Each structure stands twice: as C-alpha cells, then as structure tokens.
C-alpha cells in the first residue's frame, strides 16, 4: 500500500512538472470507484509521456475499466503497454 504522505508527495511532484513513463498500481484494491478519479487524473496528466501502465491484480470493476478505457482513448498512440491481468 502507498502511504498517504507518499501519495501527496507524488501528486505534488506531478503538479511541479515531474513526468512518469511507467506507473505500476498492481495489487491495490481499486474496486472502490472513489479510487479511480485520482488515478485517472495522474494518467491524464501523463498521457503524452506515459508508456507503461500496470493495473494487474487490482480487482477492477467493469465500471472502473470503462472509465480507464475512456481516458486512454484520448491519446491512443502514447501508451505502449497496458497490464490488466488478474482482474
């Protein structure tokens, strides 16, 4: 699990222009739809440079998958690897 202080620090770095090419959010229960909007904010802010997104073992609901898919369709040529295994 990511600590709240780590999440705040990551969010602050992203706001200050930090660019992420790889995001791994595996083994975290994302079945709660309240967890999806912050994730989508990060993915959206990184869409031009994000190459790898790992959401494996995250217990994603159908609705969550739809929301993630809609966000990823905004930049269909950026992401090279999407791992949704074991959901």
Confidence of residue 82 (pLDDT cuts 50, 70, 90): very high
Q: What is the pTM of this model?
A: 0.76
Rounded Cα gap, residues 73 and 43, in angstroms: 12
Q: Is the four-CA dihedral 83, 68, 20, 50 of positive or negative sign?
A: positive
Query: What is the Cα–Cα distance from 3 to 70, expressed in whole angstroms?
Result: 28
Q: Which tens digit of pLDDT belongs to each residue from 8-19?
A: 777 777 777 777
pLDDT for 3 equals 57
pLDDT digit string (tens) for 41-69? Answer: 888 888 778 889 999 998 898 988 999 89
Residues 58/82, Cβ–Cβ less than 8 Å: no
Q: What is the rounded distance in angstroms from the CA atom of residue 72 to the CA atom of residue 42?
A: 12
Structure token digits, residue 86: 């074991």
Q: Measuring CA to CA, which residue among 64, 21, 73 is closest to residue 42?
A: 21
Task: Give the pLDDT of residue 75.
Answer: 78
């Amino acid at each position: 699990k990511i600590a709240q202080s780590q999440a705040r620090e990551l969010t602050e770095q992203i706001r200050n222009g930090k660019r992420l090419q790889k995001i791994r959010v595996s083994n975290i229960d994302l079945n709660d739809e309240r967890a999806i909007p912050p994730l989508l904010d990060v993915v959206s802010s990184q869409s031009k440079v994000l190459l790898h997104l790992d959401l494996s073992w995250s217990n994603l609901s159908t609705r969550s998958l739809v929301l993630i898919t809609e966000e990823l369709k905004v930049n269909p040529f950026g992401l090279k690897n999407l791992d949704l295994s074991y959901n």
